[in-house]
């Protein structure tokens, strides 16, 4: 039964993503629009794609807190696997900062490019400055940006340290930072959402076979007016991690 479900979902992904690819390509041709207007349309396009993806994978999202945040915020969250992208994209009209490897994911790479994700190769210092500059531009256009500051997916046991460099974009744009905690409620330990020690295709195949994936998105109060990127990163991680470990029934030292 799970194999049949995976096959049906695979067909749904190809059909729906083909439609989004066509719509996204048309949207890219709207060069007569201002950059700000076009970016806001692309952010809305990404949100529809993410919500469709949640429907296909039967990811059932519940939101705690106010998801109607002001435009132009830097939204940061914990990161365990690819479902985080669907979940966050479904909740917020925003652009993603994606690791460079996403460009190699079948189908998802096309959606990321059409959604004008900001690709980051953190090992190259000169590119980090470029990424910060592009993030700052989007934030100053009053477009929100979604960032996974751990820099990689994990097994979900705990949060990794947040990389502070890209928080500089929020400092430069004088934008609030909104911490968000993602909590999966499936019975698997680690969660079926986790992507660790396996190929991307194996990770996606597990999700395609999984019947349902309930998740809670906890939207915390925004952090505003903090001029130090390292403090921003530490405060955000502390808020997100505290809620995450409470969910797991754990208390661990930082």
Domains of the chain: 2-248 (3.40.1130)
- Is the pTM above the cut of 0.85? yes
What is the C-alpha separation between 52 and 124, in angstroms, rounded?
A: 34
186 close to 192: Cβ distance less than 8 angstroms: yes
Torsion sign, CA atoms 16, 119, 44, 163: positive
Predicted confidence at residue 250, as pLDDT, reads 54
Predicted confidence at residue 254, as pLDDT, reads 42
pLDDT < 50: residue spans in the chain: 251-254
pLDDT one-digit tens code per residue, 21-71: 888 888 878 767 787 888 888 899 999 999 999 999 999 999 999 989 999
């Amino acid at each position: 039964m799970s194999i049949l479900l995976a096959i049906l979902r695979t067909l749904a992904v190809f059909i729906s993503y083909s439609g989004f690819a066509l719509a996204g390509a048309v949207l890219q041709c709207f060069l007569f629009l201002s950059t700000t207007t076009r970016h806001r349309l692309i952010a809305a396009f990404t949100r529809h794609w993410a919500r469709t993806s949640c429907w296909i994978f039967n990811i059932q999202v519940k939101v705690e807190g106010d998801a109607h945040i002001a435009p132009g915020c830097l939204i940061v969250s914990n990161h365990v696997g690819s479902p985080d992208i669907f979940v966050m994209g479904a909740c917020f009209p925003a652009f993603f900062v994606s690791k460079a490897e996403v460009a190699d994911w079948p189908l998802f790479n096309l959606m990321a490019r059409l959604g004008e994700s900001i690709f980051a190769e953190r090992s190259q210092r000169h590119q980090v400055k470029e990424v910060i500059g592009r993030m700052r531009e989007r934030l100053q256009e009053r477009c929100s940006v979604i960032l996974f500051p751990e820099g990689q997916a994990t097994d979900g046991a705990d949060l990794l340290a947040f990389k502070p460099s890209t928080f500089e974009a929020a400092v430069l744009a004088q934008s609030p930072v909104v911490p968000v905690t993602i909590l999966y409620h499936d019975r698997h330990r680690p969660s079926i959402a986790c992507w660790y020690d396996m190929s991307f295709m194996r990770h996606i195949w597990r999700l395609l076979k999984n019947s349902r994936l309930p998740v809670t998105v906890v939207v915390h109060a925004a952090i505003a007016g903090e001029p130090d990127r390292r403090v921003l990163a530490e405060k955000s991680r502390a808020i997100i991690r505290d809620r995450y470990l409470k969910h797991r029934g754990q208390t661990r030292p930082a």
